[in-house]
Structure 1
Amino acid sequence: MVETVQGREVTIVFDGKRCVHSRNCVLSHPEVFVPNVQGEWIYPDAASAAEVIRLGQNCPSGAIRVLRNDAAVGSDAPPVVNTLRVRENGPLALEASILLGGVAQEGPRATLCRCGASANKPFCDGSHTAAGFTATGEPAVKESAALALRDGVVDVQPMPNGPLKVVGNLEVVSGTGHTVNRVTQAFLCRCGHSANKPYCDGSHKAAGFVAE
């Protein structure tokens, strides 16, 4: 369910289906996102517009978007450097101007399932926890040349019963913030079985992975 709450300066759009419960919002500004209450729980005016926009920028899944009411850019400004952050035992956090199969997405952030268990593929829905998914957030560094351009559009193309093909300028970043690869195209494991995570090694075929 998508909730839209308008304040004096900014409007918060919350997409619960995209939320992976990173809890950045309720931990950094519990007066804006009030946890564990019945009824209203989002208060855009409880912090400055700049702080609320920062909450949107820090939401890895894109579940929180913050729009300025004066039509200036809020939390949806595209990044200067496109990144794919590998979360320990969890999803891939993408920050870029995102296309999904060629269709523009709202907001520059998304978390992509890599355990194979999400019911909201290609996005993460938190299923990796119950599935007991384990995968390092510190993949081996690959030798790679600096990208001529570091921003721009990234197209996420789910391959039927296979990996996610991503096309665009992208820096793969470890959980501790190190750039471990630079690509303009990559095939990312989303079945959870690759021995070369976060990249596909063809294991989805033997695993009988099924996904659109």
Structure 2
Amino acid sequence: MSTEPITVFEGREIDVSWDSRLCIHLGECGKAEGELFVAGREPWCQPDAVSRAEVREVVERCPTGALSYRDKIGTPEPAPAENRCLVANNGPLYLTGDLEIEGAPEDMPGVRRRVALCRCGASKNKPFCDNSHVEVRFEDGGAVGSRGPGLSERGGPLRVRVMPNGPLKLEGNLTILAGSGRPAWEGTQTALCRCGASKNTPFCDGSHRTLGFKSD
């Protein structure tokens, strides 16, 4: 078995890549209807089993960026019309949009559109989620109280700065969704907690300094 983090499944019209460093096994691919992903089959992903359009649609369901595609006619995955951050119930921050993740390796193409970022403070793969929130029994329902200053426009680049031993600083047009799915906060600048200790989640309140949070 290959020890490389990325496995490429080649098709005639489109290739699919799976990055083990980002996958937290949510099952959006495996539960999708059709023959693109079939557990126990070798290989488990077969891009030629469905249409190019279906490959794109199913791969774009992956919320962590672990799955990405390379369309051989040169069509890249489009940036969503809006940048969004879902504060998952007892889980990570799911970002979608035109993302610029500071420090993300060049060989992680999926995180330019979709990524799951740790907010429990326990991930061993920071800033990415690795499901450690389950192990440490992180509890936060994803409620968002603030409405934010609002937005005058949508979309565009969203820069995500990973502050050493501190929060995630987001710059760009952004809508934050509560764990219930409710669009809650809108604005162009915010700092989100990633130590797991803020009393004002999902926003940073400086608790990382009191906690002595280490991001490495």
Give the TM-score of the pair, scaled to structure 2: 0.89
Find the counterpart in structure 2 of residue 66 from structure 1.
Answer: 69
Rounded to whole Å, the distance in 1 between the matches of 2:129 and 2:24 is 7
Rounded to whole Å, the distance in 2 between the matches of 1:183 and 1:62 is 24
Unaligned runs of 5+ in 2: none
Q: More deviation in 108-117 or 200-209?
A: 200-209
Q: More deviation in 81-90 or 23-32?
A: 23-32
Please state how far the C-alpha of 1:137 moved relative to its aligned partner.
Answer: 2.3
Please state how far the C-alpha of 1:31 moved relative to its aligned partner.
Answer: 2.7
Rounded to whole Å, the distance in 2 between the matches of 1:30 and 1:48 is 10
SS in 1 for 2:30: helix
Select 2:59's aligned residue among 47, 56, 61: 56
Find the counterpart in structure 1 of residue 177 from structure 2.
Answer: 173
Rounded to whole Å, the distance in 2 between the matches of 1:70 and 1:158 is 34
Please state how far the C-alpha of 1:38 moved relative to its aligned partner.
Answer: 7.5
Find the counterpart in structure 2 of residue 120 from structure 1.
Answer: 125
Check whether the contact 2:150–2:187 (CA below 8 A) recurs between aligned residues. Answer: no
SS in 1 for 2:21: helix
- The alignment's C-alpha RMSD in Å is 1.8
Query: Does residue 33 of structure 1 match 2:37?
Result: yes
Distance 1:85 1:54, change over 3 A: same
Find the counterpart in structure 2 of residue 78 from structure 1.
Answer: 79
Rounded to whole Å, the distance in 2 between the matches of 1:13 and 1:138 is 34
Find the counterpart in structure 1 of residue 144 from structure 2.
Answer: 139
Query: Does residue 207 of structure 1 match 2:208?
Result: no
Check whether the contact 1:144–1:181 (CA below 8 A) recurs between aligned residues. Answer: yes
Find the counterpart in structure 2 of residue 198 from structure 1.
Answer: 202
Rounded to whole Å, the distance in 1 between the matches of 2:139 and 2:122 is 13
Find the counterpart in structure 2 of residue 151 from structure 1.
Answer: 155
Please state how far the C-alpha of 1:129 moved relative to its aligned partner.
Answer: 0.8
SS in 2 for 1:17: coil
Distance 1:148 1:72, change over 3 A: same
Find the counterpart in structure 2 of residue 21 from structure 1.
Answer: 25
1:56-100 C-alpha deviation (Å, 9 max, x unpaired): 211100111122111123xx2101011001111100001122212
Check whether the contact 1:102–1:155 (CA below 8 A) recurs between aligned residues. Answer: no
Aligned residues: 208
1:189-212 C-alpha deviation (Å, 9 max, x unpaired): 000011111111111112111015
Unaligned runs of 5+ in 1: none
1:156-189 C-alpha deviation (Å, 9 max, x unpaired): 1111111111111100012332110002111100
Amino acid in structure 1 at the alignment position of 2:66: A
Rounded to whole Å, the distance in 1 between the matches of 2:87 and 2:34 is 27
Rounded to whole Å, the distance in 2 between the matches of 1:12 and 1:102 is 23
SS in 2 for 1:45: helix
Distance 1:203 1:146, change over 3 A: closer
Check whether the contact 1:165–1:187 (CA below 8 A) recurs between aligned residues. Answer: yes
